[in-house]
Structure 1
Amino acid sequence: MRIPKITITSYTIKDIVVSEIAKQQRINDLRKKTDILIIDDEDFAPQEFLENNNYRFTNKSDIDNIRDVSEYPIILCDIRGIGKKISNAYEGAFVIQEIKKNYPEKIVLAYTASQYDPSYNSYIQKADDVLQKSLSTESWLENLDKYLYMISDPIFQWKKFRNQLLEKDVSLITVARYEDIFVKSYKKGDFKDFKNLEASVDGDIKNIFSKFISTILVELIKAI
């Protein structure tokens, strides 16, 4: 008697393909849905132009506590004149470091219109990008579109999540199983099976899952 062949279908992140048209549609939709925080003690010149292109912003002249940024997936942070209650010496540069330390999943874009001491560099380098305040409005739009898409890009976000797991010595086989469930969930538009994985882990791995589910999945679901 012939034994039938058993085929096990295992999805990888390469099975997620987003066309350029779908990518632009997602960006246009996310502009209307995503609130971006601006920390600046002066007016942010490109803001009106960006708002006319459906971007949404919340403005703070400064923050008293790093928790003040917790609800925003993207943060634009000036270097000069802010962070007075968090750092007397390094202003917004130190704020950027603390945001990335406490919320590594957030996109933090530093910008400035002035020169700063080289001692600021080690803090500013923690930002996802450093932009000149004097960029053209069109360049600001292009840059924000790039990072806006990044927060809801399943491929980019999965790779970041996978690297975190591997750094905690989760086996390649286990990570591949998680990847299969993640891709299937994304294709279905329902992450229930992936969320259920959190109950099967503990310790640092549980914390990684919990943060990914409570922050990144929210943006992914919003974009589907």
Structure 2
Amino acid sequence: MPSSDPHNQELVYLKRNLQIAIIDDEEFPEFNSLRNAGYSPVHFKDIDSFDQLLPYPIIVCDIQGVGKNFGGTGQGAYIVSQVNELFPDKYVIVVSSKSASLKVTSMISKADKKLLRGNSDEINQALLDAVKTMGSSIERWKRVRKHLIEQKNIDLLDVWVIEQEFISSVNSRDKSKIERFIKNHADDMVKGLLINFISGLIFT
């Protein structure tokens, strides 16, 4: 019998609607079990554009054998570092079967979780945490706000103004308000980042 608990119903909704991009040149062992558990994973053997990741608030990425289309030696670590830069609200889980070099460790330092391949229990728990985090517009904004202040050095007053527009949009469940504000007022350096953030939100 389906659960009538509102919390469980919300979790079922979030698992179904928050898509997971899995970037792995090999078959991902937990893929079918994730589908069976109600998640919405999509498997990429690799990507050739970061725009491919726009619809996916949760990213699971191997650090070897992917990212070849971008050159360099970073592979999956480069993908992780760029996702953190372009989409700071996204929840990033690194999965690998090998220990990382110092260079790679630096590139994946901002990932939310770093797990060993094949540890199904830890992967399942990480994805549950990811869904709960990404299901909250407020938590996603906090991640963006931290990035704007710490990585982009945006003035605190400017961040506060953006936050007030965000709160107004959340309260009215109308993304168009903050979308218009960003297009007309946001600093060009972060406009694309903010547009990406807003486009991925689910206002319910």
Is the shorter-chain TM-score for this pair beyond 0.5, marking a shared fold? yes
Give the ranges of 4+ consecutive aligned residues of structure 1 lying more than 6 Å apart after TM superposition: none
CA deviations over 1:119-162 (Å, ceiling 9, x no partner): 321112132221121223x4322211211222231331232344
For residues 48 and 179 of structure 2, the distance between their equivalents in structure 1, rounded to whole angstroms, comes to: 34
Contact 2:63 2:76 in 1 (8 A): yes
Q: Which residue of 1 aligns with 2:136?
A: 153
Query: 1:28–1:86: structure 2 CA closer, same or farther, 3 Å change rule?
Result: same
Q: Which residue of 2 aligns with 1:219?
A: 201
Query: 1:143–1:180: structure 2 CA closer, same or farther, 3 Å change rule?
Result: same
TM-score (norm: length of structure 2): 0.78
For residues 195 and 66 of structure 2, the distance between their equivalents in structure 1, rounded to whole angstroms, comes to: 31
- Following superposition, the deviation at residue 25 of structure 1 comes to 3.3
Query: 1:105–1:183: structure 2 CA closer, same or farther, 3 Å change rule?
Result: closer
How many residue pairs align between the two structures? 197
Does 2:31 correspond to 1:36?
A: no
Does 2:176 correspond to 1:186?
A: no
TM-score (norm: length of structure 1): 0.72
Q: Which residue of 2 aligns with 1:168?
A: 154
SS for the counterpart of 1:219 is: coil
For residues 126 and 162 of structure 1, the distance between their equivalents in structure 2, rounded to whole angstroms, comes to: 15
Contact 2:94 2:113 in 1 (8 A): yes
Map 1:1-224 → 2, pairs under 5 A: 24-136=8-120, 138-163=121-146, 167-171=153-157, 175=160, 179=163, 182-198=166-182, 201-204=185-188, 207=191, 211-216=193-198, 218-221=200-203, 224=204
SS for the counterpart of 1:27 is: helix
CA deviations over 1:161-218 (Å, ceiling 9, x no partner): 444565421428x82x6545544543443344444433662434871xx643553464
- Following superposition, the deviation at residue 53 of structure 1 comes to 0.9
Query: 1:193–1:89: structure 2 CA closer, same or farther, 3 Å change rule?
Result: closer
What CA RMSD, in Å, does the superposition of the two structures yield over aligned residues?
2.9
Q: Percent identity?
A: 26
Asked which structure has the greater CA Rg, the reply is 1
